[in-house]
Copies of this chain bind each other. A is one copy, B any other.
Amino acid sequence: MSSFTRFDYHMMAHALKLAERGRFTTSPNPNVGCVITQGDNVVGEGFHYRAGQPHAEVHALRMAGALAQGATAYVTLEPCSHYGRTPPCAKGLIQAGVSKVICAMQDPNPQVSGRGIAMLREAGIDVAVGLLESEANALNLGFIKRMQTGMPFVQLKLAASLDGQTALANGHSQWITSPQARQDVQAYRAQAGAILSTSQTVVNDNASLAVRWSELPAHIQSDYSQHELRQPVRVILDRQHQLHSSLRLYQTEAPVLRVAQQQAEVCVALDPQGRLDLSQTLATLAQQENINHLWVEAGPTLAKTLLEEKLVDELIIYLAPKIMGSDGRGLFGALGLTEMGQVLELNINDCRMIGPDLRLTATLKQ
Contact = CB atoms under 8 A, between A and B. Distances in A.
Given A164-B160, A172-B340, A326 B321 contact: no
Q: Tell me the number of copies of this protein.
A: 2
Nearest to A357: B348
A130 B326 CA distance: 45
A348 B340 contact: no
Interface string A305-330: 00100000000010101111111111
A334 B326 contact: yes
Main SS at interface, chain A:
loop
A82 B326 CA distance: 52
B325 A163 contact: no
A322 B345 contact: yes
A112 interface: no
Interface in A326-366: 326-340, 343-348, 351-353, 356, 358, 360, 362
A261 interface: no
Contact of A160 (B163, B300, B324): B163
A174 interface: yes
Contacts of A251: none
Interface in A171-210: 172-176
Counting from the closest, the 6 A-B pairs by CB-CB distance are A326-B330, A164-B164, A325-B335, A327-B334, A321-B346, A163-B164
19 contacts: A162-B331, A164-B164, A164-B165, A168-B338, A176-B340, A307-B323, A321-B345, A322-B345, A323-B335, A323-B346, A324-B344, A325-B330, A325-B333, A325-B335, A326-B331, A326-B332, A326-B335, A348-B353, A358-B358
Interface of A: 160-165, 168-170, 172-176, 300, 307, 317, 319, 321-340, 343-348, 351-353, 356, 358, 360, 362
